Chain A
Amino acid sequence: MKKLIKYWQIFWHMRRLHAMRMLEYRADFIFWLLISFMWTIFNFFFFAAIVNVTGVIAGWSTAEMYLLMAVFTILDSFIWSFFYNNMLQYTNDVFNGEFNKVLLKPIDSQFWLMTQNNNYANLLRFATGVGMLFWALRELELQPSILDFGLFLLLLSFSALFIYAVWFIISTLSFWVDKLDNINEIVPNVRRSFQVPHQVYTGIASTLFTVILPLGLVSSLPSEILLGRVSSWSTIFYFMTFTLITVLISRWFFNLSIKKYSGIAN
């Protein structure tokens, strides 16, 4: 319990530090806030243009697609707020031989790697996602029960955890490959796989994106909970189990990889 409190305090201490840094570079913050917001609007517009062609994508109506986009946007804000900067710092430290400073800290290395950085410029993205979510629910005349909403939040957390674990495994490959600066761009570039309903995937693509690496389920499953049309409870169970296994693998792979690490003193 004492350890948990310590980690909790460290987590918030780092958030405070980054909030102070953000206030120091206010113009920079506002600029990035604007850019992040522009990309969010662009993403909505992008799919609105496609949905408007026929009014439906893989059985999802326009309003349902907006709800899916809202869930995606909420997840996307996590990706850019927490995952991206931390993974970038992680791989840079490995490639530059400066990872010693992480290993020598008297806290869990993986915890530190995940919490040392964050970016507040995506707050507007998050707010837009939440706003769109409630707008879409109203548009669809849906009133999810507390249980549905709880399950939605649980699945959303699992989705974020899944993205994190996959990304962490990919970043940990930096111990094994020669300098590959764009290793951190892999997950951001496959984000579109969970920007669309999982019913879009058929044949081999379905096996790949919903079974082997179920990225296609990341936004779709939480959205389906809110829409009250869960396609299959076994799929949800599969996704949650898969996520937990991926997290365990990421942990195991990290512990294996740090044994391989050698770096100059810093």
Chain B
Amino acid sequence: MWNKWKTLYTRYFINAIEYRSELIVWFLLSVIPTLILILVWQSIFNSQGNIQGYGLGEIIQYYLLVIFIGELTASHFENWWVRMIREGKIDLFFTRPFSLQQTIFIGDLSRKTVYALLTLPLFAAIWWAMSQVWVIQPFNLSAAVLLGFVVCLAISYAIYFFMGLIIVFMGFWLEGAQSLEHFKWIIVTLLSGSFIPVTFLPDWLKNLVNLLPFKYMYAVPIGLLQGKTTISITELIYPLSFIVCLWIIAQILWRLALKRYTSAGG
């Protein structure tokens, strides 16, 4: 079993390397809007040194961490797989020794590995350049904080992945299922703390963010590193249960889809 997964991983890894220039362009494109946002915050902080407990350095650090978490955890596979389903090109996955879900997972993981290998040095260079211009405080790192951060990264990836998988499986029913991806991005951006620190949100949205598990994708891990949040093991039961719910929905959709799927040729 392990060898099969390794083979599949290697295959997708090589495939991802082929598109290395595109991956680097994607990274740079994701950085530019954030850099502009940092300039906006700079102009806001020109008149005040500290706003609601945040200094400019912390805000910059916040957005750099948003980029970092996004690069490591965000999934973008929906478009491709929905098209494959709509065009009836997934027949071969029924005869292979691993399921479509496993293939999507391994494919995404290997692509993410290549992406991280290519972009992490660039990210480090951007962080270094920023720290030359602005004062960015170092993290208050401890083993517990680091562990909490890594667990949150895993939670973030799992939420992205299973939401993506549900969208892919909706492709069995909906013609334009890939457009559901936009709902995913809007929900995550709005409710995870990735576009603005939660403390700056209006009260009604702050309450909603605190109620839902999406905050464990960005707001909580960043808060951990910045020393503004703490997390207990029991608290993690909530986001983990949410991931299990997403997994169950994906499994139900997959079983229903198998009964529904038809294709000619293949």
Contact = CB atoms under 8 A, between A and B. Distances in A.
Interface of A: 27-28, 31-32, 35, 38-39, 42, 45-46, 49-50, 52-54, 56-58, 178, 180-183, 185-186, 189-193, 195-196, 199-202, 205
B44 A57 contact: yes
B4 to A, nearest CB: 29
The DSSP consensus for interface residues of chain A is: helix
B182 A50 contact: no
A56 B29 CA distance: 27
Contacts of A58: 40, 43
Contacts of A52: 200, 202
Given A28-B175, A181-B22, A189-B30, A54 B47 contact: yes
Of the listed residues B22, B36, B37, the one surrounded by the most CB atoms of chain A closer than 10 A to its CB is: B36
Nearest to A197: B43
Given A49-B202, A50-B196, A58-B43, A192 B33 contact: yes
A178 B19 CA distance: 10
A177 B33 CA distance: 25
A192 B25 contact: no
B39 A38 contact: no
A39 B186 contact: yes
Interface of B: 19, 21-22, 25-26, 29-30, 32-33, 36-37, 39-44, 47-48, 51-52, 175-176, 179, 182-183, 186, 189-190, 195-196, 200-202
B25 A49 contact: no
A54 B44 contact: yes
A145 B21 CA distance: 50
B186 A186 contact: no
Given A54-B51, A185-B29, A200 B43 contact: yes
B218 to A, nearest CB: 15
B142 to A, nearest CB: 31
Among the interface residues A27, A50, A53, A178, which one has the most CB atoms of the partner chain B within 10 A? A53
Contacts of B40: 50, 57-58, 196, 200
Nearest to A60: B43
Contacts of A42: 186, 189-190
Given A181-B22, A189-B30, A196-B36, A39 B182 contact: yes
20 contacts: A35-B179, A39-B182, A39-B186, A42-B186, A45-B190, A50-B44, A52-B200, A52-B202, A54-B47, A57-B40, A57-B43, A178-B21, A182-B29, A186-B29, A191-B33, A199-B43, A200-B36, A200-B40, A202-B39, A202-B42
